[in-house]
Amino acid sequence: MGTLVIKRLFQTVLVMLGLSLIVFLVLQATADIAAILMPGDATTEEIEALRHTLGLDRPLYVQYFSWLGGVVKGDFGNSYRYNLPALPLVLKRMPATLQLGVTAQLIALLVAFPLGILAAVYRGSIVDRFAMGLAMLGQSVAHFWLGLMLIFVLGLRFDLLPISGTGSWLHLIMPAVTLSTRPMARTARLVRSGMLEILGQDYIRTARAKGLAEMAVVRKHALKNAMIPIVTVIGLELGSLLNGSVVVENVFAWPGVGQLLVQSLKGRDLPVVQASVLLIAGIYVFINLVVDILYKYLDPRVRFH
């Protein structure tokens, strides 16, 4: 077990290193950053001077290793836009994004489990079709559109919720519901298929045959065993929620990392983009690691494999 964890940790470090290289190169390759940062009427000399000040005139590999050296120590450099250290800027926005992501995940689970279980138990019935229809809708609806529709209906027409920004937990509802649609859909479908597979097993028939109530069969025998693959997906969904928050935070003016990332990309604020992307990727990789380790506890087959 210990070796497995160490192996996975080692892989995680490699993944992060690879990621750092991609993040660094892709952004550096897109354009002449110094020219973009200067006012439109800047002379070539002024642009050259800025390039020198920012160290962008050095060979790429020198820039990469010097940047990586800083990153290891938690120093992503100063934001070009804010003239403040990039990592604290991103970290300051992280709680808002996590709050949104975790709430969305909770909503997703609250909806997805009953939906998936009902669909499996009443397979082929109208309940199943409705549940899966809803899941399909959740999977395919664009966050951007749903966000604006919620604003229009709940914020404006019925005046039930605040439209944008932060301030109270009421502000959280619409962005979290918008963000929850995709994980809700995917989890519901997975719960349904997992439950269906388990419900067809011999031990379920045995449980029913020994006279257990259907509720107990579903809850104790089926759901518990169906949980194993679902945990993996829930973990991955948490990571993808961070990506989804980019659109949702912009629609609802939610002051999280997603909004900062979009603004920084537009303004070519490399240190902030690099810090945000690496941090989000890091969280994603970390969640994966935790899920992998958790998996080994949940599923004895993995432990003995």
Partner 1 sequence: MVAVALLAVFVLLAVGCRKADDKPKGADPAPKTGETGKQGGTTPEPEKKPAKTTMTVLLYGEPDTLDPIYSMGIPEKNILVNVGEGLFTISKNKEIKPVLAESYKVIDELTWEFKLRPGIKFQNVQPLNAAAVKFNYERTQADAGKMNKWAGDINIKSIEVVDELTFRFHTTDPTPHMLARIADDHYMMEPSHVKSKTPEEVARQPIGTGAYKLKEWRAGDRVILEANENYWGGKPTIKEIVFRFIPEEGTRIAELEKGNADIVFKVSPDSIPLVEKIPTAKVLSGMGGRRVYLGIRNTPENLPTAKKEVRQALNYGVNVASIVKNILSDKAVRLLNPILPPNQKPDLPKYEYDPEKAKQLLAQAGYPNGFSVKLDAFLGATLKDREFLQAIVDDYRKIGVEVTLNIMEKAAFGQALKDRKNSELYLHTAGAGFDPALDVRNMRPDHPNNGHQFTPPEFLEGFEKIRTIVDPKLRQEWSYKLQDVMSDGAPWVFLWMEPEVYGVNKGLNGFTPQGDEHLRVFYPITGDIITLE
Q: Are 93 and 262 in contact (CB under 8 A)?
A: no
Closest CB to partner 1 among residues 11, 78 = 78
Shortest Å distance, C-beta 120 to partner 1: 14
Kindly write down the DSSP assignment for every residue of 234-268, as one continuous string: HHHHHHHHHHHHHHHHHHTT--SHHHHHHHHHHTT
Q: Is 215 helix (H, G, I), strand (E, B) or coil?
A: helix
Residues 193-252 that bind partner 1 (CB under 8 A): 250-252
Shortest Å distance, C-beta 48 to partner 1: 9
Residues 262-291 that bind partner 1 (CB under 8 A): 262-263, 267-268
Q: Which amino acid, residue 237?
A: E
Phi then psi for residue 36, to 5 deg, are -75, -35
The β-bridge partners of 85 are 78
Q: Which amino acid, residue 45?
A: E
Q: Is 114 in the site for partner 1 (CB under 8 A)?
A: yes
Q: Is 93 helix (H, G, I), strand (E, B) or coil?
A: helix
Closest CB to partner 1 among residues 89, 238 = 89
Among 22, 25, 31, 68, contact with partner 1 (rule: CB under 8 A): 31
Closest CB to partner 1 among residues 241, 261 = 261
Nearest-5° angle of CA 204, CA 206, CA 210? Answer: 120
Shortest Å distance, C-beta 205 to partner 1: 28
Task: Identify which range of 2-10, 57-65, 108-116, 216-224 contacts partner 1 by CB under 8 A.
Answer: 108-116
Shortest Å distance, C-beta 208 to partner 1: 25
Among 23, 50, 261, 270, contact with partner 1 (rule: CB under 8 A): 50
Task: Identify which range of 13-21, 113-121, 202-210, 283-291 contacts partner 1 by CB under 8 A.
Answer: 113-121
Shortest Å distance, C-beta 270 to partner 1: 12
Q: Is 178 helix (H, G, I), strand (E, B) or coil?
A: helix
Phi then psi for residue 134, to 5 deg, are -65, -40
Proportion of the chain in helix, strand, coil states, percent, rounded to 5: 80, 0, 20
**How many residues belong to the chain?**
305
Q: Are 155 and 163 in contact (CB under 8 A)?
A: yes
Binding site for partner 1 (CB under 8 A): 30-32, 35-44, 46-47, 49-50, 53, 80-84, 89, 92-93, 96, 107, 110-111, 114-115, 118, 127, 130-131, 134, 148, 151-152, 154-156, 159-166, 168, 170, 173, 177, 184, 250-253, 255-256, 259-260, 262-263, 267-268
